[in-house]
Structure 1
Amino acid sequence: MPYSDFLNFLNHEKKYSVHTSVAYEKELQNFHAFMDREGVALAAVDYRFMRHYFAQQKESGKLAVSINRSISALRGYFKYLQREQLVKANPLSLIKALKVPKKLPTLIEKDKLVNLLDNFEELNLVSNEFEEKRDFIVLELLFGTGIRLAELIKIKDEDIDFYNKKILILGKGNKQRFVPLHKTLVHEIDLYQCLKKDQLLQNKASRFIVTKEGKDAYPKLIYRIVKKYLTLITSQNKKSPHVLRHTFATSLLDNGADLNAIKELLGHAGLSSTQVYTHNSAERLKSIYKQAHPKA
């Protein structure tokens, strides 16, 4: 692959996640295939050619958010090629991202979610005591800390600080942060670890969240767990782990938490990513106003 060195750079120097690297590789495959069809060499790619490439994407029905992802990937690719002196200039330096209409994060009603967790033991959706406790911990951690799915499955037993009631999270770009745990959750984590030790004697996993066979948890398992329980309290289509992250952030904001503090808890690099939750809170306040005020 002509771009294999760039992918190695992303993996080993930039420490990109596997998911991001796979997405970049797909973008580069599509771009090089387009160059081959057009009969254009890499060194001859210029601003007009890139405009032509993205225009073709738009005409094919590709969404603006997907085109922007392609722009970002190829801008990084040509920046790398320029650094390695394989091209003279970056043809994407003047290419701007397309405007994307802002979508409000999908949420679960907080009261319904709290009620689900408060009455979790009465559900009896699984016969295995360990699985029930694990599922509860998964939901509590996602909603109680706002961590990402990828961060959840990376947690190790030793990352949990019982004395100080906090947990070490390995976020994007291998950045570490501590997230507080409430007293009840600390107690439930302790019970979960005892069950894991007692019931999974052959446990070979290196992670905190494991399967019923004692192996490391994987993304599809977490998705299944979240969807199974959220189906009990909502009919909305989106029932992913990220919905619980959105609900966590919006709940904090609704109750007066500082936006910078929420940013740190979520592990956002910049405040702009956190500010999207202010729109959710504003929409909620408008709804309350319309329902409650006689002049609304």
Structure 2
Amino acid sequence: MNPLLCDFLIYLEKEKRYSIHTISAYREDLETFFEFLEGIDPKNVTKEHIRFFLGHLLRHGMARRSVARKLASIRAFFKYLLHRGVVEKNPAWTLRAPKIEKKLPRFLPMEGLIRALESMPSQNPLDIRDRAILELFYGSGIRVSELVRLNLQDVNLEQGTIRVQGKGGKERIIPLGKVTVATLKTYFQHRSALGPSSGESAFFLNAKGHRLTTRGVQTLVWKRLSLLLHQGNFSPHLLRHSFATHLLDQGADLEAVKELLGHASLSTTQIYTHLTSDRLKRVYQQAHPRAESSKRG
């Protein structure tokens, strides 16, 4: 691996405190770029090199969103080199990413999701754990990476709060509703049945008594929701989207939702307002006597 790339990845881990998955994505993007350059020293990379690389990816059928991500990785890498004094300018700085269509996040209907959660079985400790996990996703909007990092000391069931470590190592305190707290308390009472090893600090455990992995949580969410709601592509992030959308539907303040989700920018949270405004438009079209006046006349 190029020594400068190695230094950059260490910087992302130690100083930016990015997650393993984020660092892995940067590494993949930049290794692909340097393989394409065939040995060109990063100090000699120009805007034309990068533009040709991006065009090559598009010509070979790569999705615009993926190409845009690779450009973002290249831009961040050269920004790091610029700050270190390795290069005199960032060759990717003025390059524009290919235009991509913004996909509105999917979410589940409130009534159907609540019915599904309330109908979950509770016959054994794994059933109880999975109910608690789904309730926590929907009741707090946390990311899957934040859930698997939860330790016992991060969950305060008396105060009804959890402390999570978000992107970039930023901590936030999230309040929980009564239903979520109740399911977490029930799980905690059965946690020892999963056989935690001595000193295991993870709040959520797998069947062997160890900390759950991201993949393990993704799998159990998919299996549980598939059984309850049948068809669909179910994921923890779908519950996060549902959490945010339902809050805004019920009149929650956008800034408050931003803080709950752990977004760095309000613009990231604003995408959910498109979902709620679309719903309001449909309600208006269906209910208001003047909405379809041209057809009534």
Q: TM-score, normalised by structure 1?
A: 0.92
Q: Helix, strand or coil: the match of 1:232?
A: helix
Deviation readout 1:43-73 (Å, 9 max, x if unpaired): 2211122211111111111112111111111
In the TM superposition, residue 288 of structure 1 has moved relative to its aligned partner by 2.6
State the one-letter code of the partner of 2:71. Answer: I
Matched residues in 1 for 2:197 and 2:84: separation?
A: 49
Matched residues in 2 for 1:80 and 1:34: separation?
A: 21
Matched residues in 1 for 2:287 and 2:217: separation?
A: 39
In the TM superposition, residue 185 of structure 1 has moved relative to its aligned partner by 2.2
What is the aligned counterpart of 1:30 among 27, 32, 36? Answer: 32
Query: Are 1:260 and 2:255 an aligned pair?
Result: yes
In the TM superposition, residue 160 of structure 1 has moved relative to its aligned partner by 1.4
In the TM superposition, residue 252 of structure 1 has moved relative to its aligned partner by 0.3
1:270 matched residue in structure 2: 265
Matched residues in 2 for 1:109 and 1:81: separation?
A: 47
Query: Are 1:227 and 2:229 an aligned pair?
Result: no
The CA RMSD over aligned residues, in Å, is 1.8
Q: Helix, strand or coil: the match of 1:142?
A: helix
Query: Are 1:205 and 2:203 an aligned pair?
Result: no
In the TM superposition, residue 94 of structure 1 has moved relative to its aligned partner by 1.0
Matched residues in 1 for 2:27 and 2:159: separation?
A: 42
In the TM superposition, residue 115 of structure 1 has moved relative to its aligned partner by 0.7
Matched residues in 1 for 2:94 and 2:27: separation?
A: 23
1:195 matched residue in structure 2: 190
Q: Helix, strand or coil: the match of 1:246?
A: helix
What is the aligned counterpart of 1:238 among 230, 233, 237? Answer: 233
Matched residues in 2 for 1:120 and 1:87: separation?
A: 57
Deviation readout 1:31-51 (Å, 9 max, x if unpaired): 111111xx6433221112221
In the TM superposition, residue 235 of structure 1 has moved relative to its aligned partner by 4.9
In the TM superposition, residue 233 of structure 1 has moved relative to its aligned partner by 4.3
Q: Helix, strand or coil: the match of 1:97?
A: coil
2:6 matched residue in structure 1: 4
Contact 1:112 1:233 in 2 (8 A): no
Q: Helix, strand or coil: the match of 1:179?
A: strand
- 1:84-95 correspondence to structure 2 within 5 Å: 84-95=84-95
Q: Helix, strand or coil: the match of 1:62?
A: coil
Contact 1:79 1:90 in 2 (8 A): yes
Percent identity (aligned): 37
- 1:1-296 correspondence to structure 2 within 5 Å: 1-2=1-2, 3-36=5-38, 40-121=40-121, 129-198=124-193, 200=195, 202=197, 205-293=200-288, 295-296=291-292
In the TM superposition, residue 4 of structure 1 has moved relative to its aligned partner by 0.9
In the TM superposition, residue 80 of structure 1 has moved relative to its aligned partner by 1.7
Contact 1:130 1:212 in 2 (8 A): no
Contact 1:143 1:248 in 2 (8 A): yes
Matched residues in 2 for 1:253 and 1:238: separation?
A: 23
Contact 1:27 1:73 in 2 (8 A): yes
Q: TM-score, normalised by structure 2?
A: 0.91
Contact 1:204 1:215 in 2 (8 A): no
Matched residues in 1 for 2:104 and 2:172: separation?
A: 26
Contact 2:139 2:176 in 1 (8 A): yes
State the one-letter code of the partner of 1:98. Answer: P
CA distance 1:202–1:22, shift in 2 (3 Å): closer
Matched residues in 2 for 1:234 and 1:188: separation?
A: 20
Contact 2:194 2:208 in 1 (8 A): no
Contact 1:147 1:266 in 2 (8 A): yes
Q: Which runs of 5+ in 1 are unaligned?
A: none
Deviation readout 1:202-238 (Å, 9 max, x if unpaired): 4653211111211100112211221122213445532
Contact 1:155 1:207 in 2 (8 A): yes
CA distance 1:105–1:26, shift in 2 (3 Å): same
Contact 2:157 2:181 in 1 (8 A): yes
State the one-letter code of the partner of 1:205. Answer: E
CA distance 1:175–1:157, shift in 2 (3 Å): same
Q: Helix, strand or coil: the match of 1:120?
A: coil
Deviation readout 1:157-212 (Å, 9 max, x if unpaired): 11112232111111111111111111232232222112112552646532111112
CA distance 1:120–1:203, shift in 2 (3 Å): farther
